[in-house]
Amino acid sequence: MRFTRRRILACAAAAGTVLVGLVTHLDSSASAAGRTAPDAAVVVHADGSMVLPLDHYDEYANPADEDRIYQAVTRLEQRCMTAHGVTLPDGWGARYLPTPLPPLSVVGVADVTQAQTYGYRLPQADSSAPAQATPSAQATPSAQATPSARTVAAFDGNDGCAMNAYKTLDIADAQNAFGYVQTLRSQAAAAADKDARMVQLDSAWSSCMQTAGYHYAAPLQASNDHSLLGRGLPTPKDAALPPVSPDEKKAAVADATCKQHTDYLNTFGRVLADNQQHTITASGPGLQHASAQWQKVMAAVSTTLAH
């Protein structure tokens, strides 16, 4: 079970952490109904990820809550399977719980050193992931012996042990709360795209790129241009793209350099934070409802683990 925060992975920035605007302490244990909305603030980390105002409402990103839900679901499934005279296979606990969304890449390459090495093919690593094993890292059903038809019948289906566990814990409410915050993120991102400051920023970056001989209106156009990726090299058999080529690296270096010259990461973060804050202000009742849904789930989890 991984209701993890959808981090905004803007890609690698310069070393250190840059604070843009007023940074407010984010208390993931507070309820939305009783908390004061944070000021529009963004923290840009060394890996290029950003902590933004809506992250304040990601209570379900708490690893402790994540583990408690996993343990509760697994306990309910084990009890149910035992009642059916079968054993819950290793790795089947919380089998159908949602998986996390991938980090959201919004600007592509921004570090010159990485561009020189990887071009636009940046290593996909999320530094927010905990180093220790998580429930989703445990053994999976595919690693186990084929279960009996009786085991599968007891576990699956609308009346199966998995569904009964999710109903007992109101997991649908957790999914609704998670989905609501993601919807607000999407709305804020769409508004940021149309923000006059963002239009001006993209124009400044585009002008810088034109000076270097490249013609793109916005950063993701460059990183998604398949005619640029691997340019000058043949595509290996069964590969989607050629390997990183000198031409691709040259373009990526120009891209990252222009982002640094225009202060792209910090400005983008500021614009997105402002639009998230506006969305938060306009969505107070909805966020309170999402928090109440989550608290209902965690109350059911506590009851399950207490017995």
Query: Does 81 fall in a domain?
Result: no
Mean pLDDT on 189-199 = 96
- Report pLDDT digits (tens) over 82-121: 999 999 998 887 776 665 555 555 678 888 998 999 999 9
Assigned domain for 54 exists: yes
In a domain, 162, yes or no: no
d(CA 260, CA 204): 11
**Cα distance between residue 142 and residue 139, in whole Å:** 8
Q: What global pTM score does this model have?
A: 0.73
Domain region containing 109: 8-62+99-129+178-305
Q: Where are the alpha helices (DSSP H) in the chain?
A: 63-83, 112-118, 149-155, 161-168, 171-194, 196-211, 219-223, 246-261, 264-282, 284-305
Residue 146 belongs to a domain: no
Maximal C-alpha separation, the chain: 72
Q: Which amino acid is at 87?
A: T
Cα distance between residue 20 and residue 17, in whole Å? 10
Statement: residue 142 has pLDDT above 50: no
CB-based burial, 134-150: b 16+ in 10 Å, e otherwise:
bbeeeeeeeeeeebeee
**Contact status, residue 120 vs residue 229, Cβ threshold 8 Å:** yes
Flag whether 167 is in a domain. Answer: no
Helices and strands in the chain: count of H runs, count of E runs? 10, 5
Residue 249, in any domain of the structure:
yes
Overall number of domains in the chain: 1
Residue 93 domain flag: no
pLDDT tens per residue, range 210-224? 999 999 999 989 989
Task: Report yes or no: 193 and 271 within 8 Å, Cβ to Cβ.
Answer: no
Report the alpha-carbon distance of residue 94 to residue 86 in Å, rounded: 17
Tell me the pLDDT tens digit for each residue of 250-275: 999 999 999 999 999 989 999 999 99
Cβ atoms 92, 141 nearer than 8 A: yes
Average pLDDT, the chain: 79
215 within domain boundaries? yes
Q: Residue 105 — φ and ψ, nearest 5°?
A: -85, 120
